[in-house]
Amino acid sequence: MPTKKTEFMPIVLGIISSNEGLIHIQDIYRKALAEIVIDSEDLLSPIARGKKTSDVEWKKEIRLALRELVSRGDICTPKLEHYCSPISDENYTPLSWELVWENILHNAEKHLANGTEIRSKIQAKSYRVKEITAKRDNIFITRAQTNSDEKIKKAHIQKGIQNLNSCGGRLARRTVHYTVAIESAIVELSDHLQYDEHHDYIAVNNDSSVQALTNHEEVFYESIPNGSKTPQKSKSTTYKKTERDSKMIVKLKQLYSNSCQMCGAVIRLNGNSDYSEGAHVIPLSKGGQDVKENVLILCPNHHVLLDHGNVNFTEEGGWHSINQSGDLRFKGGHSISKSSLEFHGILPKKSLFDY
């Protein structure tokens, strides 16, 4: 019988993929039993075998497999203990979990500075922001009625928003976070999440929220410090390496949610992380500046094409490469300087399809 979540993952994924609509976790257990061989002892409750836990090991591993599949975006859980294949909605614009986290931090800082309470719309309770850690990766809140503490983690937002995006922008309660207090505080602190009339989550996607997200992207972009117009050579007895501002690159990757500014692709790695590369339009080795106006966030393929001189640009913000063309994607006021684009050659004004 499978003993680890990695062994259960293909079984669980196959069950959910072959099912139409939502499937409850109990039905996943039942269908999994039909595909695996379990010893009679493994079917007994651990309590009956003298252990303190009441759950059998194989069910625990299935739950861990489900959690891993959700974090990878292979499945989603739009309702508590219900699962399905990712839901596609062409009218839904996916949220950037990094920007949602920055927005929550910004609002939490205002509550902390003003000493104001966060009031839950679904509970007759309120919360206070007690502390934001120096690394800005945790927010401690206190329940006003009981003075008990809860912690909102950056990882909560990452997993919750990724699941929200996989579900097409609509989730039931306790799917962003299973703890009602934490989930309620997350919604109240975010400008981009709200409860609907049934207390389900939705990603606010009307004109006002899109404008709010755009404004937040602009504020976030302005907060990214530039590197240096004259990057220095670090001292070495064997070679010299041009110093670059890695924090600026990391922030730009967050702004674009690791999506390529040329093709829009997002590379998903195992373990719930995305991959992209910061590309200097004018290479630092050729005298390029380590500033935002000289950096594009690209997938590895387009980074290589750019570095090898196989990309040209147009004055209208288009790009052309080998049998490929499109428009550069920009957010939050980010742009590339004309001098950087000219380094690769500005194509004359005409349709990209003419090249």
Q: What mean pLDDT do residues 204-209 have?
A: 50
| pLDDT tens by residue, 315-355 | 888 898 877 888 999 988 899 998 998 888 887 654 444 44
107-139 as b/e: b if 16+ CB within 10 A: bbeebbeeeebbebeeeebbbbbeebeeeeeeb
Question: For the ranges 5-14, 219-228, 283-292, which has the lowest average pLDDT?
Answer: 219-228
Mean of the pLDDT values across residues 68-84? Answer: 90
Question: Closest by alpha carbon to 9, among 71, 80, 56?
Answer: 71
CB 105 within 8 A of CB 175: no
The token pair at 285 is: 């080795």
Residue 237 in this model has a pLDDT that exceeds 70 = no
Lowest mean pLDDT among 29-33, 69-73, 260-264, 296-300: 69-73
Q: How far apart are CA 93 and CA 324, in angstroms?
A: 25
Most confident of 51-55, 213-217, 266-270: 266-270
pLDDT of residue 297: 96
- pLDDT band at residue 184, thresholds of 50, 70 and 90? confident
Q: Which pLDDT score is estimated for 301?
A: 93
Class of domain 5-84: mainly alpha
| Average pLDDT for the chain | 81
pTM of this structure: 0.60
Question: Mean of the pLDDT values across residues 110-115?
Answer: 92
What are the structure tokens assigned to 241, written together? 């390496």
10 Å CB burial of residue 281 (0-12, 13-18, 19+) is buried
Q: Are strands 312-314 and 346-347 parallel, antiparallel or unpaired?
A: parallel
- Which has the minimum average pLDDT: 28-42, 84-98, 149-163, 169-183? 28-42
Please say if the pLDDT value at position 209 is more than 60: no
Query: Which whole number is the average pLDDT over 156-170?
Result: 87
- Rounded to an integer, the average pLDDT of 252-271 is 87
Sequence-distant (≥ 6) Cβ neighbours of residue 315 within 8 angstroms: 346, 349
Give me the pLDDT at residue 325, please: 86
**pLDDT at residue 262 in the model:** 93
> Would you list the DSSP string of 106-172?
HHHHHHHHHTPEEEPSSSS-EEEEEEE-TTSSEEEEEETTT--EEEEEHHHHHHHHHHHHHTTSEE-
Distance spanning both ends of the chain, measured CA to CA: 58
* Tokens, residue 208: 């006002």
Dist CA 13 CA 76 (whole Å): 11
* pLDDT value, residue 10: 92
Residue 46 pLDDT > 60:
no
- The answer to whether residue 200 scores a pLDDT higher than 90 is no
Domain coordinates of the chain in residue numbers? 5-84, 97-207, 226-235+242-354
C-beta of residue 104 within 8 angstroms of C-beta of residue 115: no
Contacts of 6 (CB under 8 A, 6+ apart): 65
Q: What's the mean pLDDT in 124-152?
A: 90
